[in-house]
Structure 1
């Protein structure tokens, strides 16, 4: 039988197959070949009522290392319009990585019911760039139906810093989950981690979502530095209009991207993050 791996705990693997969840062990060769991850499509032999053994794993279409989830189709990137304040570099890292991995990105701006004035322009800014944006409030229910529709029929992962309301949004969609939620520390302004293990959750409207530990930093992948600009959608209209074909859009004369950033056609913080990501990736290339 084929199934989908929901979670691993205490040496056991929990696999959903044909409408039931089996508690499984994995064949030794699978353990040697590499760690099985939530989202893996696996082949299972049933040994008894509710028990089975994982015989094989299908090739992965996508792989996220942090959080570690396989076969993700879309990333639901959650940030707060209130507290904790949006870390725009982390947001852009998540968007960048989603693009590199070929995963659709949806930005959910939560806590709309207590939004701070200085954050109100952010949803429109990212929507104008071309990202799908949803404004939500787990407390009032705003945007919950829209999020449920986005999640339906797909394997999604929630990502974003702690304290932005990822678990609260999942509880709003599926109250029976009763996931632990954490308040933002008044002293530090940061959220407390509330999810300890990556696992897939089956949603009543169809589809799965990976509830994963919160994090505050995301390392960039190894890649050709010439490809970095292709993962910033707002740069696409300007690529190919620079004086030099090999332009890296830093300080080269006749650079159309630099000119667009200077006039505000490309948002300043996005351009600064492009430069930072570019330097990080060049540094990685030199270290090999």
Structure 2
């Protein structure tokens, strides 16, 4: 059933899986990491795409076997669920692959993260909202990518890398979580936007921050404010809606989030010349596919900004 519904997209998912698994193992060994993982469904999809997609067929198939529905309705339900799951899981997995590819390109000397176990919801409740700052970044031995809109006390980076070659710290958050509380202190070295700006972000978006001080990268967003990103990545891997149909939304998000370096639209397909000429200032199109080397313009823009 899945092969009939997705056709050539199955091959695309299998290719992403191979690239991701190879990259994870390379990075894990190079930097001595114990583990690199994502949310359960995304992680399983990246390691076995077809098996994970089959799970979405369980309830429609159960209804069919119990004669609660007919074959035509089953196939429609199976189609809807498979396409929905595939689009979500493929885009999310593709973003993780791209984030790790960016990390690899900078060949970091150090990997840092925020240990939020020290600052959970109970701590915030007990303090009466008087927590001033997020814990400073410390060395990590594993990376875990959070899911889009996953509830968290605060939104913090999934990892921060340090590159001595370029003397910069860089943080990446492939999927933005939903902050549930706030801190009372401030980070004056970063620019902050209203929390409503955070609501403009969708599962397509990834934010990148760069700084010379890793402590300035500890917090991305709380209940009332969002840190202005240096780069906004807008991933488009679905046929519908088309990039042309999304262009107004892309421009609106770019103009309101105001990334200091700009917005990069990352695609896995080539776009027509007419579309490329109508992006607007600060918005760049990058047809990457699954070729790490095609991220070079994005890497160069980060290096030149410093």
**TM-score in same-fold range (> 0.5):** no
Between Structure 1 and Structure 2, the one with more strand by share is: 1
Higher helix share: 2
The TM-score normalised by the length of structure 1 is: 0.31
- In the superposition, the TM-score normalised over structure 2's length comes to 0.29
